[in-house]
Every structure is written in C-alpha cells, then in structure tokens.
Amino acid sequence: MKPEEIRGFPDQLPSPDEKAMIAAKKRWDRIAKPLHSLGKLEDLTVQIAGIQGSPEFCVNKKAVIEICADHGVVAEGVTQTDQSVTAIVSENFLRGETTACIMAKSCGADVLPFDVGMAVDTAVRTDYKIKYGTADMAHGPAMSYSEARKGIEAGISIAKECKEKGYRILAAGEMGIGNTTACSAVTSVILERPAEEVTGRGAGLSSSGLMRKIEIVGRAIRVNAPNPKDPVDVLAKVGGLDLAALAGLYLGGACERIPVVMDGFISDVAALIAARLCPSVRDFLIPSHISREPAARLILKELNLSPILQADMSLGEGTGAIALFPLLDMAERVYREMKTFDEIKVEQYRYLI
C-alpha cells in the first residue's frame, strides 16, 4: 500500500523546519553553559522546534494517547491473563487508576484512552472502533487488509483531533492483552529475524510459557505468510489494531506537526510500521527508552534512533514516554530562562576543530 492510499494522509509528508532547527541550535549555543552540555536533551528540543516549525517551541500541553485493543491470539495461552484485563485497565485510564495515569498526573499530562478494537464496549470512547478484537492469528489472518488500513486511519484522525484541542506533544501508549505476541510476529516478518530472537516474556511469562509463545509466533507466520514488503499486509495477518492505530498516530503527528514520543516495544513496532509506510516519518520520531523486550534494541537500531532512558522498563501504557516528559520540561525551561553569554558579559564558548 502507498501512503497516499491511506485516508487523511497527504501525498507528501512535510519536512521538519530547517530554519527553526538552526535558530534553536544557535539559541542553545548562546546560553551561558558549556556547548552541548545537555547532550540529547538539546538535540531533542532542536528536533521538536523543527517538528513544530518554530524556535519558540512549546511542550506545555501534553497528552498520553492510550490505544486499546484485544488480540485473538490470547486463546493460544500466550499470556498470564485473559482478555477481560484489557477492558478493566482501559476503564481505569478514565478513573486515573493506572501507573501511566499517576505518572502523567505528576507532569501535568492528560490521559486519553481510545477503543479501536476491544472485545467488549466499555466507558472508553468507541467512535474510532474498527471491530471487536482480532481473530486468532495462529489459524488465519488477525484481520482483513481493509481493517488494518482503517486502524491506521483512526490513528491519523486521533492525531488531528489532538491538534485541534491544542495539544503540543503526545506520548504513544497502549493497552491490549496479547499485544507483545503480535508485535513479536510483526518484528520477525519485517526484520526477517527468527521468532526466538524477537520474542520475549511480555508481562512475566515462565520459561515454558515463553517457549509456547515462540511456537505460536512461528506458527502464525507460517500459516499466514505475510508479505514483509507490505507493512499493511503484515499488520492484517499477524498484527493488531492497536499497532495499526499507533502507526497512524505517528503519521498523523508528522502531518499535524505534533511531536509523538515513542514508548517501548509495542510503540517501537508501530514506529517501524509507520517508517516502512513512509520513510520520512523517521525525522519526526522521538524515542524515550529501551524496553526490556529483546526485539526493542533491534528495532531502534533499524530506525537509527538512540533512546534517552535505560531503566529496564517494560510496563507499557506509555510509561516510558511519560518518563521523558519531565526532562523535556526542564530542557525547555533552561532554553527559555537561562541567560546568554552576551547578557552576562562573558566570552562565548566556541566549537574547536
């Protein structure tokens, strides 16, 4: 599928604003401190300036987008819990009773859950819902090609809605029991790696459970024979609606010039899908941390992205992305409030060759 065949996606993605990035870099160099001494935090704020199109970038209105969907492969015994947990946690997002909610509250971010494919309806919004969970990919396609495309389009629409509501930066979160199994299958196909190399324990599987999960990932790939050159086909056959919508969120964020911070393994896979659909979206991707799942490092290397945090996190829900928000807030305050060398009448540092 070509990107222009996706509803809501432009014929050509805008590029980050080079002039805004140059101006932001010059501002950092004038601030009274050693050059580039805040390292990746400076790089990220320069990137955000380019995405937003202004050296006067702003990240003060934040949202964590929680994409919720169920996976039929849970029927194969690849998880500790059943699908009912997806609905329970998703409603807890509305009540502020999840880890992500508590973390988001501490840094002033709103938590916005969206049901794009849960097995049941809940109090969570369903206006972007595609279907009631995917089928069991161990016996056939998880969904149709059209449903996978609609999932991507839902993510694009969510990004546009956030832009209209004035959000300046988003975190990519998710909830869906069984989604690490789907992610392992997608990664195995797209990166052409064996199932055992890219499949991890998810939410705490035993060694025997892990072996079962690896076997199911391999079986799903053999049964469905997804085309690694067509990311939508991969999504449809061994992926999930949460992955599709997250990929769309990245694409929509780029269209709307809203930075979207990646979380861990699930959102890494979604970013990989988005980049395979539209390679230029890589310039808009903001990594937060390196997940404990074994495939995360492979994906970030493929995307040529360097994470900021290394904390062995693997909770999901966007928690790793939220953890980056306070660092971005601090970097923005230094950028705006720190005096320049001219203002304190001290000779400016210079790059030495």
At 132-182, the pLDDT tens digits run: 999 999 999 999 999 999 999 999 999 999 999 999 999 999 999 999 999
Q: 196: buried, middle or exposed (CB in 10 Å: 19+, 13-18, 0-12)?
A: middle
Q: Which CATH architecture has domain 62-327?
A: 3-Layer(aba) Sandwich (3.40)
Position 3 pLDDT exceeds 70: no
Position 2 pLDDT exceeds 70: no
Q: What pLDDT is stored for residue 271 in this prediction?
A: 98
What average pLDDT does the segment 272-294 reach? 94
Q: What are phi and psi of 261, to 5 degrees?
A: -85, 125
Provide the 10 A C-beta neighbour count for residue 98.
25
Alpha carbon separation from 167 to 110, 134, 153, 171, 215 (Å, rounded): 10, 31, 19, 11, 42
* Residue 270 pLDDT grade (very low, low, confident, very high; cuts 50, 70, 90): very high
| Amino acid making up residue 194 | P
- The 3-state DSSP class for residue 172 equals strand
What average pLDDT does the segment 187-195 reach? 97
Between residues 2 and 257, the one the model is more confident about = 257
Position 353 pLDDT exceeds 70: no
Q: What pLDDT is stored for residue 52 in this prediction?
A: 97
* Residue 1 pLDDT grade (very low, low, confident, very high; cuts 50, 70, 90): low
Q: What pLDDT is stored for residue 207 in this prediction?
A: 85
What average pLDDT does the segment 81-100 reach? 96
Q: What pLDDT is stored for residue 265 in this prediction?
A: 95
Q: Measuring CA to CA, which residue among 186, 190, 214 is closest to residue 77?
A: 214
- The 3-state DSSP class for residue 169 equals strand
> H or E stretch including 173?
strand 169-175
Q: What residues does each domain of the chain span?
A: 3-56+335-344, 62-327
Give, as one character, the DSSP assignment of residue 292: S
Position 203 pLDDT exceeds 80: no
**What topology is assigned to 3-56+335-344 in CATH?**
1.10.1610
* Residue 6 pLDDT grade (very low, low, confident, very high; cuts 50, 70, 90): confident
Q: Is residue 287 within 8 Å of 305, Cβ to Cβ? A: yes
Q: Which of 57-61, 131-135, 209-213, 255-259 has the lowest mean pLDDT?
A: 209-213
Q: Is residue 234 within 8 Å of 226, Cβ to Cβ? A: yes
Q: Measuring CA to CA, which residue among 308, 306, 260, 309 is closest to residue 281?
A: 260
Q: What pLDDT is stored for residue 201 in this prediction?
A: 84
Q: Which residues are catalytic?
A: 317
Q: Which two tokens mark 195? A: 């199932």
Q: 290: buried, middle or exposed (CB in 10 Å: 19+, 13-18, 0-12)?
A: buried
Q: What pLDDT is stored for residue 284 in this prediction?
A: 96
Q: What pLDDT is stored for residue 249 in this prediction?
A: 98
The C-alpha angle 240, 243, 244, rounded to 5 degrees, equals 85
Give, as one character, the DSSP assignment of residue 111: E
pLDDT tens digits along 299-310: 999 999 999 999
pLDDT tens digits along 240-255: 999 999 999 999 999 9
Q: Measuring CA to CA, which residue among 141, 157, 168 is closest to residue 58?
A: 168
